[in-house]
């Protein structure tokens, strides 16, 4: 069974999950994402500020978060000044570099993350990037633990859930744009838990020209991913698991699979301090934060991160 | 409803456990790369007690670069880290070049240090070392940006700021090779723990355990400046409960006094202290207040408290209301609420009767 992305996807998604209706979502081939940020936030934002905003795919609304250290480079149109919001996707040429440096960081959260958790995840990534490149997060909505696990199982079963659909549209939109106007740019995607599964599904189902582009331009880093990202889909792929993470089994399944880079790190959180069920799964916990820092440092040394202040 | 939830959970359990890898490796060289890495990992574990934690690399149509990551459960000086890093790089390169079956797949033959990446993290009981010794050594291979290409990097950790690595040294690979050849000591590959290190490690382990048991403080990182005696001790903790300014002050004073008592009463540590008695001005601490999901309490209570240079700074979160968006989208900023000297804070806490204190101590 299939359905199109509707106007009120939250309500539709809830009903689908609650009624165990397993169906794939479709979207028009030419669907694109736009990310609208209030200009007031950009004018008022401090260097380390992380802004929640709305994304749109047609009439479908999404929650996003953005951060950037060079919003001042934006040249607003008169229409944007009138409406008070700017679609930053229209302004990538002002915000991204076309040299071979990492100009864009995207990220996605896992299950059972509130909007506050999602914003926190972005903030934790952003504070490790003094260069302040453009960062965009796409929120993976929670419908409660049972429903989120149900969605996870549907995804593994091969169904295209709403969030996979939307993430694919985002990656499609960006890749199409970069192929045209930023062919040298490097892009890093960071994902936690179910976010890794979503990225893995999307990246394996792209058009051939997009796949070729991302193989040379995309760097991925996942933490406690339900499905790690295979090394072939990107320029550089890292999948990290804490040994005490409930999700470590998903990584161990691939530890002997040479198609994947899997790293299992010792937990920095003593066992008695870890939550009883999920263990050391938290992205904000000491283990993944240290690994994130090391990975970003490694990526920075190998590829360089765009610092608009120095260009 | 309950039956339905049980059915969903059983379904999820079955799907997750029966799930097969969706994307198996499909290039001919994958198996050979794996064989090489496993043989090097076994050798390094046997010879040098290095634990292989993961791998990296750039491999598309051909093998462009191979990377391996290790943990070493000991400290290392720059000299030791250099010798260890070069040793592992050489072993990896040798293993690649002596593996017959992978040769047709290599982008360059023979492979050299320019096409491998080795990173080694040095860890102890308190996590990564944050005491001025090398916490992490790695090399940047040939594909890295030009200014970092074929260099070795030695990083240290700041116990209070875990957002960035502190690069303490870097050098070109060939310079590192020259230095190692000039002093070819086999024992450089293993660190011999000094009496100072033994004493401070034990003290910090006991302190972090006591802080968890008495105040519910979870250690994030601990260390300090210890390369030339114990100059400074720093620690970052997380408290999974909210705090007012008053209770945060009490907590900071309690933790600081406990640490000072432990340091100054430790006979084994005394010879290594830069100053005796060790004063509060040589302690740095940060305590962050978070809920169980590591989120800030944006309700007017403390975001964190920082103790540095004898001054305590109290931070809280301010919600900035906006007319154009719903409250859940309001931006939040962390700002300074108040500052005071440590002696002012100590006086305030000393004036609180013992029975009314949250953290009881005979010495305060």
Q: List, for residues A210-252, the tens digit of each pLDDT value.
A: 999 999 999 999 999 999 999 889 999 999 999 999 999 999 9
pLDDT band at residue A207 under the 50/70/90 scheme: confident
Orientation of helix B78-97 relative to helix B30-48, angle to 10°: 140
With the CA atoms of A170, A176, A180 and A182 taken in that order, what torsion angle do they form, in degrees rounded to the nearest 10? Answer: 40
Contacts of A115 in chain B (CB under 8 A): 328
Q: What is the mean pLDDT of residues B334-360?
A: 90
d(Cα B204, Cα B350) in Å, to the nearest integer? 26
Residue A119's Cα: distance from chain center in Å? 12
Look at residue A171 and tell me whether its pLDDT is greater than 60: yes
For B139, counting Cβ atoms within 10 Å of its Cβ (0-12 exposed, 13-18 middle, 19+ buried), the class is: buried
Tell me whether residues B33 and A303 touch, CB distance under 8 A.
no
- For residue B259, the number of C-alpha atoms closer than 13 Å in the C-beta half-sphere is 25
The pLDDT tens digits of the residues spanning A117-161 come to 999 999 999 989 999 999 999 999 998 888 898 888 888 888 888
Contact, B46 vs B38, CB < 8 A? no
Which among A53, A130, A236 is the nearest to B56, CB-wise? A236
Give the pLDDT of residue B20.
Answer: 39
Tokens of A168: 């694919």
B127 vs A: CB within 8 A: yes
Tokens of B99: 């593996």
Contacts of A51 in chain B (CB under 8 A): 331
Contact, B322 vs B331, CB < 8 A? yes
What one-character-per-residue DSSP string does A105-134 give?
A: EEEE--TT--HHHHHHHHHHHHTT-TT--E
Contacts of B21 in chain A (CB under 8 A): 253-254, 257
The pLDDT tens digits of the residues spanning A281-301 come to 999 999 999 999 999 999 999
Can you say whether the dihedral through the CA atoms of A12, A14, A18, A23 is positive or negative?
positive
Q: What is the mean pLDDT of residues B253-276?
A: 95
What one-character-per-residue DSSP string does B196-217 give?
A: HHHHHHHHHHHHHHHHHHHH-E
Tell me whether residues B325 and A259 touch, CB distance under 8 A.
no
C-alpha to C-alpha distances, A208 to A130, A182, A205, A213, A214, nearest whole angstrom = 35, 18, 9, 9, 10
Is beta strand B63-72 parallel, antiparallel or unpaired with respect to B50-59? antiparallel
**Whose CA is closest to A185, among A150, A231, A133?**
A133
Averaged pLDDT score across all residues of chain B: 88
Q: What is the mean pLDDT of residues B173-189?
A: 86
For A299, residues 6+ apart whose C-beta sits below 8 A from its C-beta are: A102, A188, A219, A221, A236, A305
- Between CA B322 and CA B327, with CA B325 as vertex, the angle to 5 degrees is 75
So what's the ipTM on this one?
0.85
Is beta strand A2-4 parallel, antiparallel or unpaired with respect to A24-26? parallel
- For residue B67, the number of C-alpha atoms closer than 13 Å in the C-beta half-sphere is 29
C-alpha to C-alpha distances, B166 to B132, B150, B204, nearest whole angstrom = 9, 19, 22
Give the pLDDT of residue A5.
Answer: 53
For A95, counting Cβ atoms within 10 Å of its Cβ (0-12 exposed, 13-18 middle, 19+ buried), the class is: buried
Which among A38, A101, A149 is the nearest to B324, CB-wise? A38
Give the pLDDT of residue B23.
Answer: 40
Tell me whether residues B54 and A266 touch, CB distance under 8 A.
no
- Rg of chain A, C-alpha, whole Å: 19
Q: What is the mean pLDDT of residues B65-77?
A: 93
**Whose CA is closest to A187, among A68, A79, A107?**
A107
**Whose CA is closest to A140, among A120, A170, A110?**
A110
Residue B147 Cα, gap to closest chain A Cα (Å): 9
Give the pLDDT of residue A6.
Answer: 54
pLDDT band at residue A24 under the 50/70/90 scheme: low
Contact, B107 vs B215, CB < 8 A? no
Tell me whether residues B8 and A215 touch, CB distance under 8 A.
no
Give the pLDDT of residue A147.
Answer: 86
Tokens of A55: 């994304």
Phi, psi of B110 (to 5 degrees): -70, 160
Phi, psi of A114 (to 5 degrees): -75, 175
DSSP reduced 3-state for B152: strand
Percent of chain B residues past pLDDT 90, beyond the cut: 67
Which candidate in B54, B121, B150, B333 is best for mutational testing of the A interface (most A CBs within 10 A)? Answer: B54
Buried b / exposed e over B74-101, threshold 16 CB at 10 Å, is bbbebebbbbbbbbbbebbbebbbebee
d(Cα A201, Cα A204) in Å, to the nearest integer? 6
Contact, B50 vs B88, CB < 8 A? yes
Is beta strand B283-289 parallel, antiparallel or unpaired with respect to B302-308? antiparallel
pLDDT band at residue B329 under the 50/70/90 scheme: confident
Look at residue B22 and tell me whether its pLDDT is greater than 50: no
Contacts of A285 in chain B (CB under 8 A): 294
Residue matched to tokens 């802080």: B211
Q: What is the mean pLDDT of residues B65-75?
A: 93
Q: What does the DSSP 8-state code read for residue B50?
A: E
Tell me whether residues B25 and A260 touch, CB distance under 8 A.
yes
Look at residue B66 and tell me whether its pLDDT is greater than 80: yes
Contact, B154 vs B104, CB < 8 A? no
The pLDDT tens digits of the residues spanning B73-124 come to 999 999 999 999 999 999 999 999 999 999 999 999 999 999 999 999 999 8
Is beta strand B63-72 parallel, antiparallel or unpaired with respect to B116-124? parallel
**Whose CA is closest to B34, among B84, B79, B101, B81?**
B101
Residue B275 Cα, gap to closest chain A Cα (Å): 31
The pLDDT tens digits of the residues spanning A174-194 come to 999 999 999 999 999 999 999
Averaged pLDDT score across all residues of chain A: 88
Q: Where are the alpha helices (DSSP H) in chain B?
A: 2-18, 30-48, 78-97, 173-182, 195-215, 245-264, 342-350
d(Cα B237, Cα A11) in Å, to the nearest integer? 41
B165 vs A: CB within 8 A: yes
Q: What is the mean pLDDT of residues B217-221?
A: 92
DSSP reduced 3-state for B250: helix
**Whose CA is closest to B289, among B238, B248, B226?**
B238
d(Cα B205, Cα B259) in Å, to the nearest integer? 11
Give the pLDDT of residue A113.
Answer: 94
- Between CA B139 and CA B148, with CA B145 as vertex, the angle to 5 degrees is 40
Q: What is the mean pLDDT of residues B210-239?
A: 93
Look at residue B21 and tell me whether its pLDDT is greater than 80: no
């Amino acid at each position: 069974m299939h359905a199109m992305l509707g106007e009120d996807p939250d309500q539709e998604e809830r009903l689908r999950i609650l009624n165990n209706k397993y169906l794939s979502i479709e979207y028009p081939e030419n669907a694109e994402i736009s990310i609208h940020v209030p200009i007031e936030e950009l004018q008022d934002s401090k260097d380390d500020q992380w802004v929640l905003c709305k994304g749109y795919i047609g009439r479908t609304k999404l929650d996003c978060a953005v951060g950037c250290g060079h919003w001042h480079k934006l040249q607003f149109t008169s229409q944007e000044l009138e409406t008070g919001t700017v679609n930053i996707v229209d302004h990538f040429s002002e915000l991204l570099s076309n040299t071979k440096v990492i100009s864009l960081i995207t990220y996605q959260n896992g299950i059972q993350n509130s909007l506050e958790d999602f914003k926190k995840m972005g903030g934790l990534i952003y504070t490790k990037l003094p260069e302040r490149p453009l960062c965009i997060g796409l929120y993976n909505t929670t419908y409660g633990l049972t429903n989120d696990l149900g969605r996870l199982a549907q995804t593994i079963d091969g169904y295209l859930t709403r969030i996979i659909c939307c993430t694919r549209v985002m990656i499609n939109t960006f890749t199409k744009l970069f192929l045209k106007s930023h062919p040298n740019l490097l892009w890093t995607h960071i994902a936690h838990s179910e976010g890794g599964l979503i990225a893995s599904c999307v990246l394996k189902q792209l058009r051939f020209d997009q796949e070729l582009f991302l193989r040379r331009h995309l760097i991925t880093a996942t933490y406690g991913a339900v499905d790690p990202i295979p090394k072939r889909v990107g320029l550089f792929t890292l999948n990290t698991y804490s040994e005490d993470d409930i999700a470590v089994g998903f990584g161990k399944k691939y530890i002997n699979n040479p198609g994947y880079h899997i790293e299992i790190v010792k937990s920095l959180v003593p066992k008695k301090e870890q939550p009883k069920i999920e263990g050391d799964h938290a992205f904000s916990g000491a283990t993944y934060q240290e690994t994130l820092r090391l990975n970003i440092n490694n990526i920075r040394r190998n590829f360089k991160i765009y610092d608009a202040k120095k260009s | 409803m309950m039956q339905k939830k049980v059915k969903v959970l059983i379904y999820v359990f079955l799907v997750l456990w029966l799930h097969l890898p969706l994307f198996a490796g499909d290039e001919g060289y994958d198996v050979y790369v794996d064989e090489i890495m496993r043989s090097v990992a076994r050798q390094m574990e046997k010879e040098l007690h290095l634990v292989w934690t993961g791998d990296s690399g750039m491999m598309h149509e051909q093998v462009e670069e191979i990377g391996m990551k290790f943990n070493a459960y000991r400290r290392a000086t720059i000299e030791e880290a250099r010798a260890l890093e070069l040793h592992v790089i050489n072993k990896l390169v040798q293993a690649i070049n002596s593996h017959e079956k992978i040769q047709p797949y290599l982008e360059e033959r023979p492979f050299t240090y320019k096409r491998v990446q080795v990173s080694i993290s040095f860890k102890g009981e308190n996590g990564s070392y944050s005491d001025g010794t090398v916490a992490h050594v790695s090399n940047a291979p040939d594909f890295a940006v030009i200014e970092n290409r074929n260099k070795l990097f030695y990083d240290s950790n700041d116990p209070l700021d875990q957002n960035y690595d502190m690069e303490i040294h870097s050098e070109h690979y060939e310079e590192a090779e020259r230095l190692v050849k000039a002093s070819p000591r086999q024992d450089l590959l293993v660190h011999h723990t000094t009496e100072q290190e033994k004493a401070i490690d034990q003290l910090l382990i006991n302190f972090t355990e006591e802080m968890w048991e008495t105040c519910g403080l979870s250690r994030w990182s601990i260390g300090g400046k210890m390369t030339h005696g114990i100059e400074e001790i720093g620690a970052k903790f997380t408290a999974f409960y909210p705090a007012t300014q008053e209770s945060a002050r009490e907590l900071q004073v309690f933790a600081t006094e406990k640490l000072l008592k432990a340091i100054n009463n430790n006979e084994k540590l005394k010879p290594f202290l830069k100053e005796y008695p060790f004063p509060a001005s040589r302690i740095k601490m940060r305590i962050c207040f978070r809920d169980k999901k590591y989120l800030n309490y944006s309700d007017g209570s403390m975001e964190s408290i920082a103790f540095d240079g004898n001054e305590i700074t109290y931070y809280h979160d301010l919600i900035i209301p906006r007319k154009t968006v719903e409250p859940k989208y309001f931006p939040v900023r962390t700002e300074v609420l108040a500052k005071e000297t440590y002696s002012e804070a100590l006086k305030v806490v000393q004036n609180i009767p013992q029975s009314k204190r949250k953290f009881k101590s005979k010495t305060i």
